[in-house]
Structure 1
Amino acid sequence: MKNTFIAIAASVVTLVSGGAYAQSKTLQVGDALPAANEPMKNATDGGEMVYSKAAGKNGLLVMFSCNTCPFVVKNEGTTAKTIEYAREHGIGVVIINSNEAKREGDDSFEAMKRYARKQGYKVPYLADANSTLANAYGANHTPEIFLFDKKSKLVYKGAMSDNPGTPEEAKVMYINNAIDAVVAGKQPDPASTKSIGCSIKRKA
C-alpha cells in the first residue's frame, strides 16, 4: 500500500510540474530516432518535409529552438557554428520549433520564416504542430539538442557548450566533441549534459 501511494504521488507531481504534456520518459542515450512520418512545415523554404529526411551520412542533429527565447538569441553565434561544424562532418541538422502556445504570436510560421531569413538558415526550420515531436523526445527547453549516429541511435543530448548562459565564455563545446566521437565511431563523453534555456511553450 505504501509503495502504491508513493507511485501515485510521484505521478501527480510529474503531471503538475509538466502540465498536460508531461513526459513519463525522456529520450535516453541509445534510444532510436523517434518516428514522425507526417510532413512538417519548413520555414526555411516554405515547403514541407519529414524531419528525419534531414539526416546526413554520419547522422542527424535535432535542435529544439524558437525565435525569441533570450538563451536562443544569445546563442545564435554558437548555433551557426554548430550547424556548420555538423554539416562539415556529414551530420544533417534540423531545427524544430515546438512553441505551439505562441503559434499565433512570436513563434508563428510567418515569424519563423522571417527568423530563418535573418539567421541565414540553410537547414530546415520546422514547425512542430501540437508539440508532437517535442513530446516524443521529452524535450523541454530551447535550445536543447539531440545527436543521432548513422544508425539513428541517440548518442548525445543536452547543451551545445558548457556555458549556455554566457556562450562567449564557453570553454568546452560539448556538441563538437560529440560529433568528433560519432565520426570516429566512438561514444561521446559526456553523452548527456543539462540543457539550459526557456521552457517549450506547449498549448494547454
Structure 2
Amino acid sequence: MKCIRCFILFFLCSFLATAQQVSNVELVDAISGNTFATALHPPSTTMVFVFTSMSCPYAKLYEDRIQELFQKYAGSRVSFALVNPHAGQSGESREQMASLSWAKNLGIPFLMDTDQAFTRQTSVRKIPEVVLVSSGPTGYSIVYQGAIDNNPQSDTSASVHYLDNALRDILARKRPSPAITRAVGCNIRLTN
C-alpha cells in the first residue's frame, strides 16, 4: 500500500512539474503584415506574449508598463509580442490594431488571433494576461502565465512585479516562481 502511495505521489509531482507544451505559433502581425512564428526565433529566445485588445480599459492601464519591460529587456534573449484574441471583431480590425502607435514605434508585433487557436491553446482568460514561453529539450513550453504585476490600477502601487521577476529568473536559468498567477482584467470573449 505504501508503495502505491509513493508511485501516485511521484506521478502527480512529475505531472505538475512538466510545463505546458506550445506548438509552433504562426500569427499575422497587424502592423507589418508579416507572419510571426515561434519556429523562426532562435531556441535561446524567451517569448513574452501579452494578450491585449484595443477596447479593454485594463489593457490601456498596462501600456506604459509593457513598454518599460520591453525596453528593459531589449538586447537580452527576450522577444515581446502583443496578441489580440478579439482580432476581426467589432472595434478590433486590422487597421485599428495597426494604428497602435507605441507598439509600432517600438517594433512590437501586434498579432491577430482571429480563430483564437493560440488563446485556446494557452487557456488565457483575461486581458491583459501574459504567457511566457521558453524553449527546452522537448520544444517550447509555457514557463509563466498570469498577471504582469499585482496592481492593475496603478503601476506605482504595484508591490509584486510577476512578469519582471519571471524574466529575471529565466535569464538566470532558474524556473520562475510563481509559475502561475491570477490575471485581473477584461474577460476574453471566445467564439465558437
TM category, shorter = 0.7 to 0.9
Aligned pair 1:45/2:26, yes or no? no
Structure 2 residue runs of 5 or longer lacking an equivalent are 1-16
Please state if 1:63 is matched with 2:50: yes
What's the TM-score, normalizing by structure 1? 0.75
State how 1:114-193 maps to structure 2 within 5 Å.
Answer: 114-115=99-100, 117-119=101-103, 120-151=105-136, 152-193=140-181
- In the other structure, the counterpart of 2:79 is 92
CA contact under 8 A between 2:24 and 2:38: conserved in structure 1? no
CA displacement, residues 10-61 of structure 1 (integer Å, 9 cap, x when unaligned)? xxxxxxxxxxxxxxxxxx961222333xx42212212233255356734111
CA distance in 2, matches of 1:92, 1:155: 14
Give distance in 1, aligned partners of 2:40 and 2:190.
Answer: 25
C-alpha RMSD of matched pairs (Å) = 2.2
Identity of aligned residues (%): 21
What residue is the counterpart of 1:19 in the other structure? Answer: none
2:183 equivalent in structure 1: 195
For the residues of structure 1 that align with 2:69 and 2:41, how far apart are their CA atoms?
A: 15
Instruction: Work out which of the residue numbers 13, 22, 39 in structure 2 matches 1:33.
Output: 22
Q: How many equivalent residue pairs?
A: 172
Mark the CA change 1:54 to 1:45 in structure 2 (over 3 Å): closer, same or farther.
farther
TM-score normalised per structure 2: 0.79
**Pair 1:55–1:194, CA change in 2 (3 A):** farther
Matching residue's letter, 1:63: V
Whether the 8 Å contact between 2:29 and 2:109 is mirrored in structure 1 is yes
Q: Distance in 1 between matches of 2:92 and 2:132?
A: 24
Residue 64 (structure 2) pairs with residue 77 (structure 1)? yes
Q: Distance in 1 between matches of 2:80 and 2:169?
A: 17
- The secondary structure found in structure 2 opposite 1:150 is strand
**Pair 1:113-2:101 in alignment:** no
C-alpha distance in structure 1 between counterparts of 2:164 and 2:18, whole Å: 17
- Following the alignment from structure 1 to structure 2, what is the Cα–Cα distance between the partners of residues 114 and 29? 39
Instruction: Name the amino acid aligned to 1:67.
Output: M
Which of the pair is proportionally richer in strand?
2
